[in-house]
Amino acid sequence: MHSARPMTREALQAALERADDHEEWVRVLADYFDAAGLFYGHGTDNAGDEAFWLIRHLQGWREGAFEAKPDASLAGTAAEIAERRATLRKPLAYLLGEAWFAGLPFHVDENVLIPRSPLAEVIEGCFAPWVAIEPGVRILDVGTGSGCLAIAAAVHCDGVIVDATDVSKAALAIARRNVERHGVADRVRLIEADLFPSARERYRVIMSNPPYVPARQLESLPPEYRHEPALALVGGETGVEPAERLLEAAGDWLEPGGILLVEVGAEAEPLIERHPRLPFTWLELERGGEGVFVVTAEQLAEYRERSR
Ligand code: GLN
């Protein structure tokens, strides 16, 4: 329901204090979010999930807390955060300093893109059926940001060794905190680099959620995106420049049988148009998301040979 005038913070707080259960908290907060015309897509895709996330966060994700009677003393903080979410159009993850990805909590701030890649599904499945993953297998995450893809791989795939690059020192500092938080410092190495590390290692998987928004489109994205680092969003004029750099060079860092796995979202079409002879495999993802491709080391080598 869209009300003509947004509810004040005081009214929102009062409505929460009156509520009998947390289902009602979700309804009240979701109505407030919807009335504010928010954009969802930085961790959730609807107002109800956004409300649930806020409530559970304030409860410290304590088991049973959501089912228990609401603690009225949380109403003030909830209303205050909801108001900032609505007026600043700042993604909830930044307001809470935390985002969930692949079932894991990650520390985030405005130096890193909010974790949300559909690659989570592929990582949780340990890259099946594309490659076999066993302990000791090396994986490279290009443009790691918060470290979410790299850390998720280290946590979900037993014994893998992950290198993760980023060109942003500030992002790497956040990634460092997340590596420590998840206790994977012995298997995740963070490297400051523009795409590829300087040491010529060989990887079974190179994965990336590179920036892929065409420069001219940034302005037209919902206001929530303006809080994210442009560096992590804008993929040059065309949007596909970073993806093309990956396609061009990945072969030199992949072991035989390895794969390049990249998210390019809505830029899939332009990428296909520019590379009609590259045999991309576009993934069908159970949990949704589009524009994720796999190409094998062999396909990359053959493509490179033919384009010579
Ligand atoms: N539109 C994309 C998203 O919201 C942008 C992400 C990116 O450039 N990697 O996920």
How many whole angstroms from 211 Cα to the centroid of ligand 1? 7
Taking CA atoms only, the protein residue closest to ligand 1 atom 5 is 233
Phi then psi dihedrals of residue 56, to 5 deg: -60, -35
Query: Has domain 110-307 been given CATH number 3.40.50.150?
Result: yes
Average pLDDT over residues 14-21: 98
Residue ID of nearest Cα to ligand 1 atom 6: 233
Q: What is the DSSP string of 111-147?
A: TSPPS--THHHHHHTTTTTTS---TT-EEEEES-TTT
Q: What is the pLDDT of residues 155-183, one digit of tens each?
A: 999 999 999 999 999 999 999 999 999 99
> Domain coordinates of the chain in residue numbers?
9-96, 110-307
Q: What is the pLDDT of residue 4?
A: 57
**Residue range 233-238: mean pLDDT, rounded:** 96
What's phi and psi for 79, nearest 5 deg?
-65, -40
pTM, rounded to two decimals: 0.95
Residue 17 burial (C-beta neighbours within 10 Å; 0-12, 13-18, 19+): middle
Closest to 204 measured CA to CA, from 131, 142, 154: 131
Q: Categorize the per-residue pLDDT at 239 as very low, low, confident or very high, splitting at 50, 70 and 90.
A: very high
What mean pLDDT is predicted for residues 225-236?
97
Ligand 1 center–CA 44 separation, angstroms: 14
